[in-house]
Structure 1
Amino acid sequence: SLITTFAKIFEKTIKKRLVNYLEKYNIISEYQFGFKEAKSTEDALLRLTTQIHQAINNKKPALCIFVDLAKAFDTVSHVELSRLLGEIGIRGKPLSLFESYLTKRLQCVKIGNSFSDFKEVDYGVPQGTVLGPLFFNIYINDLFKLQTKGSVVGFADDTALFYSGENWEVLKKVVEEDFTLVLNWFSSRVLTVNLDKTHFIPFTAYRSNLPDYTFLTVMNNNLPIQIRLVEFVKYLGIYIDPHLKWEKHLHYITKKIRSMLPTFKRLVSILTLEQLKMLYYALVECHITYGLTIWGGAASVHAHALEIIQKHLIKIIFKKPYLYSSDSLFDETKFFDLNKLFCFKVLAKQYKRRDELKPIDHDYSTRHRETSFQVPKPRTAKFTKSYYYLGPKMYNLLPEDIKSCKSYTSFKKRLKIFLNENTKQDISNLLNSMQYILKSYLK
């Protein structure tokens, strides 16, 4: 929708009040991560992959259905949304205001120089507006309250349902019954599931432990339909595979960054060093760091190609020979290699989540009890590469003066200095849980 500047200001004022109301009474599910302050796609991915890692660590079969909704924002019923607003306590004049905002919007179709008749729009939240996404969150919120045996993770209309059980056959039966219930719920809200693009992935540490079935049979409008098993799914921009190896995703990032090499080769003789560094952060490092807390623990054999491309690009920017020492390159430029970027992102995320995490609980008093967190017990090697394990493990090993930073900005600043003061081997030891004697830069 194209709206006036005044309308945007008015909507932002209304949105602020509506958000305050929703947060005050905890109306929107904590597992809906879309369009919420201080929440991101990474938080949704962390929630989902943490559950998968926990199941694999406990050696239980796990399965996830990734739901594709067809034109979700365009099929929101105004009548149903009005009813839901009333249910959460928005009545009287505020409800009338929202109803007038949604209704009596007209649209037409233009083909060449011809226009169709105007028709009133009875469905859909206005896209491109300030309030539209918030209304969608309210509309889909009851999905997270369904009495299912699995858990729902969502970012707006990108929805995933996670299940874990004792064995594959029991899990199959549970998921089929549950997803039939979910499909009925979507139908009741006039939301259409794109069944051709809705798939499931089983998760296990070993290939030999995969289930012997390749589809799930669920009922949709009293008709049996099949949900197919796939080798990987792209969810919120990350390719997820059954063994969380991240090979497909690393190949995707490497290919994207490799395509930028010719551009940087041309620009190196035109732009200044500072401009090239800005381009690197904007066009390259943003792709590397997106979702890094989720896939950063991938085996080095899968990450090797990405590491080579990253080094090649940095050498181009700083006009270094192709065979120039990589260790010297990162020491001189102060750019972070893949491992240091992973450490930085994991520790920064851990700092932001420190208020919601459980501190170490001893029977005796410890000096730094409040700034250290319980580390889950690993039962598999794969679990030791997950954020759920590495986050508290690495954070506990940070110098106390860094952990006690009062703001996120100062924490990141000190953390960058700290990581720059440690060698590549120090960081490797930290990630591999070998030895944790790192240099302290403060006296």
Structure 2
Amino acid sequence: GALRFFESYLFGWKQCIQYEGGYSDFTPLLAGVRQGSILGPLLFNIFVIDLETAFVARHTGDCNATTRLILYADDITALIRSATHVDFERTVERSKASISEWCRANFLVLNDDKTQVLRFGARGDDSCAVTLLGLRLDERLSWNVHTQTLARALRKTVFLLRRLSFAVSPKVLKNAYHGLFESRLSYGILLWGGSGGAMPIFRLQKAAIRLLSGASADTHCRPLFRRLGLLTLPALFILSTLVRVRNNLSAFPRLGDTHDYGTRHRDMLSVQRLRLTLVQRRSPDFVGVRLFNRLPEHLRSLPPRTFANKTKEILLNIAPYAVEEMTTEVWCSDVNVVVRL
């Protein structure tokens, strides 16, 4: 029964090409899954499920480099770590060859024109960047290229919101902000929200908030964020880091894991120290653990969904302009405010 179902779904399809009002003859589809179907993504994932196994088998025993394959739909990313430039180039070519070989064996084509190589390192060039799942990655992982690209897009959105403000109600304008501005602003903010390039984007957000409120260009925005019930960019970053830590507590070591003494802070999460201070300050895990340790105990112990909702309430009330504002005293005082409300 199941086999006949899939056979009836996969076979018998035909396709044609429409060009300038004309149609080609119908041609049978002998391979692949038709696009736009609900079952298509699942079938594709099943189809490529052995690619990672074949890739790992090809690179087993390579002591000069470590490789890892990440699949997301039809996007294939190979992560390569090596000590020398020569080993890196050799492993890149081997990786491309093994993926191409698997594609040929399974009647797929690897698009060489879309294949890009990015070499991460402290001496990398942040002007060389590739797009991966909507994020612009540069060789230094500085997020400069991504934030600059995002700022250009949001600048156009602010102009659109300004035009809309003359034609629609405040409620509709706020909905437009959620759909056109905040959705782009919050995408991937866990990764780039702590970078230096976030500040120009925060200024654009404040410009959008003034438009929603009908305020002048020199109006202080913190009261506007509170009145509109919208999170500041730093608040969105703080919320995303805290939710990540809360949802993955087992992945973070605690101070008590290193000894058996009943110290006061044994249940606190251990802060991972990184070699570079700047990288440490901008790391979402480092920021998230530090902030999580500052939370009151009863807030840290809440279930994940309740934790996210309560944390969002506090951040809406505070409307922080920087991560450094969120000290233990601020969290405790605003927890009491939220509870009283």
- SS for the counterpart of 2:302 is coil
Amino acid in the other structure paired with 1:140: V
Alpha-carbon spacing, 1:154–1:383, altered in 2? closer, same or farther (3 Å): farther
Residue 301 of structure 2 is aligned to residue 404 of structure 1: yes
State the Cα deviation string for residues 282-331 of structure 1 (Å, max 9, x = none): 111110000111111211xx233212211111111101110112344435
Match of 1:161? 78
Contact kept in structure 2, 1:254 and 1:306, CA below 8 Å: yes
Matches within 5 A, 1:13-412: 93-109=1-17, 116-145=24-53, 146-147=55-56, 148=59, 149-207=66-124, 231-299=128-196, 302-354=197-249, 357-360=251-254, 361-364=257-260, 365=262, 372-380=268-276, 381-408=278-305, 410-412=306-308
Q: 1:206 to 1:428 in 2, by over 3 A?
A: farther
Check whether the contact 1:200–1:230 (CA below 8 A) recurs between aligned residues: no
Tell me the SS of whatever aligns to 2:140: coil
Do the aligned residues in 1 keep the contact of 2:232 with 2:319 (CA within 8 Å)? no
Gaps of 5+ in 2: 60-65, 337-341
Q: Please, which runs of 5 or more residues in structure 1 have no aligned partner? A: 1-92, 211-228
Alpha-carbon distance in structure 2 between the residues aligned to 1:292 and 1:126: 34
Q: TM-score, normalised by structure 1?
A: 0.66
Question: CA offset at residue 253 of structure 1?
Answer: 1.4
* Superimposed CA distance per residue, residues 76-104 of structure 1 (whole angstroms, 9 cap, x where no aligned partner): xxxxxxxxxxxxxxxxx423321221112
3-state SS of the aligned residue for 1:163?
A: strand
* Counterparts in 2 of 1:130 and 1:367: CA distance versus 1, 3 Å: farther
| Counterpart amino acid of residue 89 in structure 2 | K
Note the C-alpha offset of 1:442.
3.7
Once the two structures are TM-superposed, the CA of residue 119 in structure 1 deviates from its matched residue by 3.1
Deviations 1:209-249 (A, max 9, x none): x7xxxxxxxxxxxxxxxxxx981001101100011111111
Q: Is the 8 A contact 1:422 1:439 kept in 2?
A: no
In 2, the alpha carbon distance for the partners of 1:113 and 1:168 equals: 53
1:165-212 CA-partner distances (Å, limit 9, x unpaired)? 2232222223322332222122212221111221111111234xx7xx
Return the alpha-carbon distance in structure 2 between the equivalents of residues 423 and 335 of structure 1: 8
| AA partner of residue 357 (structure 1) | A
Q: Distance in 2 between matches of 1:141 and 1:168?
A: 31
Superimposed CA distance per residue, residues 336-362 of structure 1 (whole angstroms, 9 cap, x where no aligned partner): 2221111112222333334x5244224
Aligned residue identity for 1:323? D
Structure with more relative contact order (C-alpha pairs < 8 Å, separation 6 or more): 1
Q: CA contact under 8 A between 1:375 and 1:392: conserved in structure 2?
A: yes
1:421 offset after TM fit, Å?
4.4
Measured after TM superposition, the shift of residue 137 of structure 1 is 0.4
Q: Is the CA contact 1:199–1:230 (under 8 Å) kept in the aligned structure 2? A: no
1:428 corresponds, among 318, 321, 324, to: 324
Q: Secondary structure at the match of 1:134?
A: helix
Identity level (%): 26
Asked whether the 8 Å contact 2:194–2:282 carries over to 1, the reply is: yes
Using the alignment, how far apart are the partners of 1:391 and 1:157 within structure 2? 32
* Residues 153, 159 of structure 1: 8 Å contact kept: yes
Tell me the TM-score normalised to structure 2 length: 0.84
- Of 415-424 and 144-153, deviating more is 415-424
* Whole-angstrom distance in 1 between the partners of 2:319 and 2:20: 64
Deviations, residues 377-417 of structure 1 (Å, cap 9, x unaligned): 31112143122333333223322222222241x22220012
SS at match of 1:150: strand
Superposition CA RMSD, Å = 2.8
